[in-house]
Amino acid sequence: MHSVALLNRERIYPIAKTIAKNLDFIDLLEERDFQYAAVKKILLLTNDLVDAAYVIVGTASVSYMLSMKGEKHWLLLVDYAKKMPGHSATAILWKFVEESPSLTRFRSNKLKRIRKLQENYSIFRQEFDTFVKDFNSLRKYLASTYRAGVDDKTIVFAVKMFYYVLKAYNIKARIPLDIPIPVDQIGGIIENSSYNYSRLLIELEKFIRVKPKPSWIELIDELVYKLYQ
């Protein structure tokens, strides 16, 4: 029974920050994130790192105001990639955004974004190695392409998903601290993971080498059940 009506972000921040310092724990959670699972499948289906990154980054940049849950949204993307073997990355992305039932809201605006990205596909491919070395260059490229701010939530989310692509391809990378991925995003990783609640606490105790206090359990409880409702 979860009786907490509102999430107290000031109380959540310290515990989220503590968890975030434990990179092994974060890695373990990320690998169980349904978004990460979708990225791995897209990589296998496209068999091309740059094309997979293009599809994932493009999808992330229009993943706002979804018409269904995020997990279903990313599974639909995988389905489209399966249905279009041999098609270009630009074709897969366009078809998905044009037809997916998860993107019915503001679809015309989302298609305009993808059109802008397609117009700059050659730049995306040419600059890919630079993006791998410098996530901020990708962030600026996307902001320029979409005429958006570098701190726009969809831009930051696209950078996070680009990181997932590299991670799934066994390229070691970390998102720079100056890119404003919220500390409380750990709640999303926990929520998206396949962990059950008791397992999460066991793993947390293992990685921080301290038995979680009752207050910590309460905080994680709030984080998981309230932050992303």
Query: Residue 100 and residue 80: Cα distance in Å, rounded?
Result: 9
Which pLDDT score, from 0 to 100, does residue 75 have? 96
Which of 153, 168, 183 terminates a domain? The answer is 168
Q: What is the pLDDT of residue 32?
A: 73
- Per the annotation, the verdict on 153 as an active-site residue is yes
Going by C-beta distance under 8 Å and a sequence separation of 6 or more, which residues neighbour residue 42?
52, 55, 56, 77, 78, 81
* pLDDT band at 59; cut points 50, 70, 90: very high
Please report whether residue 3 resides in a domain. Answer: no
CB-based contacts of 211, cutoff 8 Å, min separation 6: 205
Same domain assignment for residues 139 and 220:
no
Q: pLDDT tens digits, residue range 128-180? A: 999 999 999 999 999 999 999 999 999 999 999 999 999 999 998 887 767 76
At CB < 8 A and 24+ separation, what contacts does 191-197 make?
191/224, 191/227, 191/228, 192/32, 192/33, 192/34, 192/35, 192/70, 192/71, 193/29, 193/32, 193/33, 194/32, 194/34, 195/29, 195/32, 197/221, 197/224
With respect to residue 120, please indicate whether it lies within any of the assigned structural domains: yes
Same domain, 18 and 58: no
Lowest mean pLDDT among 49-63, 96-110, 146-160: 146-160
Range with the largest mean pLDDT of 15-19, 94-98, 178-182, 204-208 = 94-98
- Asked if residue 27 has pLDDT above 60, the reply is yes
Residue 175 belongs to a domain: no
Q: Are both 119 and 70 inside the same structural domain? A: yes
Residue 38 and residue 20 share a domain: no
- 93 and 57 within one domain: yes
Looking at the structure of the chain, the number of domains it has is 2
Instruction: Tell me, yes or no, if 184 is annotated catalytic.
Output: yes
Tell me, yes or no, whether 217 and 115 share the same domain: no
Task: Indicate if 131 and 157 belong to the same structural domain.
Answer: yes
Q: Taking 60 as the threshold, does the pLDDT of residue 221 lie above it?
A: no
Are residues 17 and 121 located together in one domain of the fold?
no
We report the CATH number of the domain holding residue 152 as 1.10.340.30
19 and 57 belong to one structural domain: no
**Closest to 100 in 3D by CA, of 73, 119, 81:** 73
| Domain containing residue 216 | 9-31+193-226
Distance CA 37, CA 131 (A): 22
Model confidence, pTM: 0.74
Residue 183 in any domain: the answer is: no
Q: H helices of 62-196, where?
A: 70-83, 89-99, 107-119, 121-126, 128-133, 135-146, 153-168, 185-192
Cα–Cα distance for residue pair 130/16, rounded to 1 Å? 31
- Residue 47, CB half-sphere, CA atoms under 13 Å: how many? 5
Of the chain, the percentage scoring pLDDT greater than 90 comes to 55
Alpha-carbon gap, residue 168 to 8, rounded angstroms: 34
Looking at residue 31, its pLDDT comes to 77
Residue 186 domain flag: no
In the chain, the N- to C-terminal Cα span, in Å, equals: 16
Q: Is 48 within a domain?
A: yes
- Ranking 69-78, 107-116, 157-166, 216-225 by mean pLDDT, the lowest is 216-225
Q: Is residue 88 part of a domain?
A: yes
pLDDT of the residue at 203: 56
Q: Per the residue annotation, which of 21, 133, 153, 213 is the catalytic one? A: 153
pLDDT tens profile 60-96: 999 999 999 988 999 999 999 999 999 999 999 999 9
Residue 105 has pLDDT above 90, yes or no: yes
Residues 20 and 55 in one domain: no
**Within a domain: 177:** no
User: Quick one: 115 and 198 in the same domain?
Assistant: no
At 34 the pLDDT is: 85
Q: What's the Rg (C-alpha) of the chain? A: 18
- The answer on 116 and 96 residing in a single domain is yes
